[in-house]
């Protein structure tokens, strides 16, 4: 048993490939042998760390497996099926679930700690800053809007490699090119944001408003932009999606993007 503990101690500090090579040199090629449970768990943890950028606990593994069936994850597989970091989308969906529980005041402190632990694990990995950017997108309220935008491009016959390039750009830029209209956001603030995006010739930007008052602000902005013809003059299209079903949170989403026919 001491020997197994020593092996576990060694492979814990090795990358997965090197750990597997080391185990082979020790004559360990199968984990079915009684007493190898600890070794097997280390390898499983390393495999999961490679997929999700952190080591999930048992409950998180279950969620991540179920998240593969979620509509958002399935849409990413359709839009950018060869995306290198596709499994990190599920990690982002896990963070979104923790945030949902916090908002519902379900074990809030515990869920905050889980989010902090995961982010810390990710940041400490090679390229952790970039990995964290990827994970933050599906954890945000803007992920469905961005998926919808990518579908707009797909409809206009964008090839898969261009869709992936666009998605990579969105990972880097979405926080700057999105505006969430909440109860403290003024009409002037939203208008300033839109004018900045147009002035900088940003190829795409997005608005999201929840609840009646915020929806009204967004609609007023649309009227003002139309009246001044700022979008037409600068070759922008807009697409508005509004939900006011009583059974769901009322919201309005607006996508602004350059006319694909002139790109």
pTM, entire model: 0.83
Q: What is the pLDDT of residues 151-208, one digit of tens each?
A: 989 998 899 999 999 999 999 999 999 999 998 999 999 999 999 999 999 999 999 9
Q: What is the DSSP string of 196-235?
A: HHHHTT-SEEEEEEEHHHHHHHHHHHHHHHHHHTHHHHTT
- Residues 80-91 as b/e (b if ≥16 CB within 10 A, e otherwise) read beebebbbbbbb
Q: With a cut of 50, say whether residue 2 has pLDDT above it.
A: no
Residues 162 and 151: their CA atoms lie apart, in Å, by 12
Q: What is the pLDDT of residues 101-124, one digit of tens each?
A: 999 999 999 999 999 999 999 999
Q: What is the pLDDT of residues 216-256, one digit of tens each?
A: 999 999 999 999 999 999 999 999 999 876 667 789 999 99
Percentage of the chain with pLDDT > 90?
A: 70
Look up tokens 């004559």; give the residue: 27
The full set of domain ranges for the chain reads 2-52, 54-142, 176-263
Query: Looking at domain 176-263, what is its CATH homologous superfamily?
Result: Alba-like domain (3.30.110.20)
**Chain mean pLDDT for the chain:** 89
Look up tokens 């603030």; give the residue: 189
Average confidence (pLDDT) over 78-90: 94
Residues 113 and 261: their CA atoms lie apart, in Å, by 47
């Amino acid at each position: 048993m001491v020997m197994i503990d020593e092996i576990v101690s060694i492979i814990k500090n090795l990358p997965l490939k090197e750990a597997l090579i080391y185990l082979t040199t020790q004559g360990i090629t199968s984990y079915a042998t009684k007493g190898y449970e600890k070794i097997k768990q280390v390898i499983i943890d390393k495999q999961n760390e490679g997929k999700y950028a952190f080591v999930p606990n048992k409950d998180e593994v279950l969620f991540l497996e179920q998240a593969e069936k979620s509509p958002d994850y399935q849409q990413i597989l359709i839009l950018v099926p060869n995306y290198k970091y596709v499994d990190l989308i599920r990690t982002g969906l896990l963070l979104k679930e923790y945030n949902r529980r916090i908002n519902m005041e379900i074990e809030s402190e515990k869920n905050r700690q889980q989010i902090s632990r995961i982010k810390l694990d990710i940041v400490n990995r090679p390229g952790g800053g970039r990995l964290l950017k990827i994970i933050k997108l599906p954890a945000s309220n803007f992920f469905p809007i961005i998926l919808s935008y990518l579908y707009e491009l797909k409809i206009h016959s964008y090839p898969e490699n261009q869709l992936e390039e666009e998605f990579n750009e969105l990972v880097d830029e979405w926080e700057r090119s999105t505006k969430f209209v909440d109860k403290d956001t003024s009409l002037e603030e939203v208008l300033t944001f839109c004018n900045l995006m147009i002035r900088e010739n940003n190829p795409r930007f997005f608005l999201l408003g929840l609840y009646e008052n915020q929806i009204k602000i967004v609609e007023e902005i649309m009227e003002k932009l139309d009246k001044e013809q700022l979008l037409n003059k600068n070759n922008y299209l807009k697409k508005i999606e509004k939900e006011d079903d009583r059974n769901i949170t009322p919201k309005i989403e607006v996508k602004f993007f350059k006319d694909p026919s002139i790109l």
